[in-house]
Amino acid sequence: MTNSPTPKDTVTSLLDNVDLVIFDFDGVVADSEVISLSTLHCALADFGIDMALRTVRETFLGTSMNTILKHVSALNPNCSTTAFADHWQAMLFDQLRRDLKPVPGVVPLLGRLEATQIPYCIGSSSSFKRLRIALDAMALTPRFPHVFSAEQVARGKPAPDLFLYAAKHLDTNRTRCLVIEDSPFGVRAAKAAGRRCAGVVGGAHMAGIRDDHAATLKTAGADLILDSFARLAPKALARGQALGNPVSDEIEERPTR
């Protein structure tokens, strides 16, 4: 770290002067990326596409189904993308229903936003069907009255369309909007939309690659990197009293300047 953080770049002031928080979903709200990437890896292999798990993560983290299917079609022109999508989603949805948990600390953070009356929503590359299944699996559906999907816009991330659409729908000044993302595609979309963006590397899929991925998010334009949500949530809750999902009090602030 070469420069000291400016006040707007610190974790403690991250939610100051914010009128809307837009959460990416997979890897930010739902600790789903290990499930998603591992089932995608298996589904690709089932359709004759051999790709290392690390490559799957680097290629597809934060992308939409349409983007994935374009890659599948290019890698295996004889593959039915409809059959592939059905095969992968059947595997994925079954495991989400069984095993999905929230990202540590995100539920207490929702409590803080509600207590301070800061509106929030989801802005995700995932389909509405996948979002519904995942929210139901985590018992979080009532906490998210506003959910936006790439299905609603012409261009998915890294284009800014989804974040622009969400803010317009919720009538929010873009300069007072904070996006929380875990993928470089999402960070680039947030910055293209003129949003402040915090990159988060607290999901289980970041194990062993947190530093490298933090650098990737910084390069994409993230204003701040969060190793966890612990310092953003009330301490009593951040110690694991929400959904039995413990959170370490340790967090590293990683300013990008």
1 domain residue, yes or no: no
Q: Percentage of residues in the chain with pLDDT exceeding 90?
A: 72
For the packed helices 65-75 and 53-60, what is the interaxial angle rounded to 10 degrees?
130
60 domain residue, yes or no: yes
Mean of the pLDDT values across residues 45-59?
Answer: 93
Q: How many Cβ atoms are within 10 Å of 161's Cβ, its own excluded?
A: 17
Q: How many Cβ atoms are within 10 Å of 1's Cβ, its own excluded?
A: 10
65 domain residue, yes or no: yes
Query: What confidence tens digit (pLDDT) does each residue in 130-189 have?
Result: 999 999 999 999 999 999 999 999 999 999 999 999 999 999 876 789 999 999 999 999
Task: Give the pair of three-digit tokens for residue 165.
Answer: 């659409």
* DSSP 3-state of 224: strand
Q: Which one is predicted more confidently, 57 or 39?
A: 39
Q: Which one is predicted more confidently, 4 or 61?
A: 61
| Contact (Cβ atoms closer than 8 angstroms) between residue 186 and residue 157 | yes
Strand partners of residue 23: 122, 180
Instruction: Say which CATH number the domain at 230 has.
Output: 3.40.50.1000
Domain co-membership, 91 together with 23? no
Range of the domain at 179: 7-31+102-255
Domain co-membership, 46 together with 156? no
With 80 as the cut, is the pLDDT of residue 233 above it? no
Amino acid letter, 91: M
Exposed/middle/buried for residue 163 (C-beta within 10 Å: 0-12, 13-18, 19+): buried
With 70 as the cut, is the pLDDT of residue 222 above it? yes
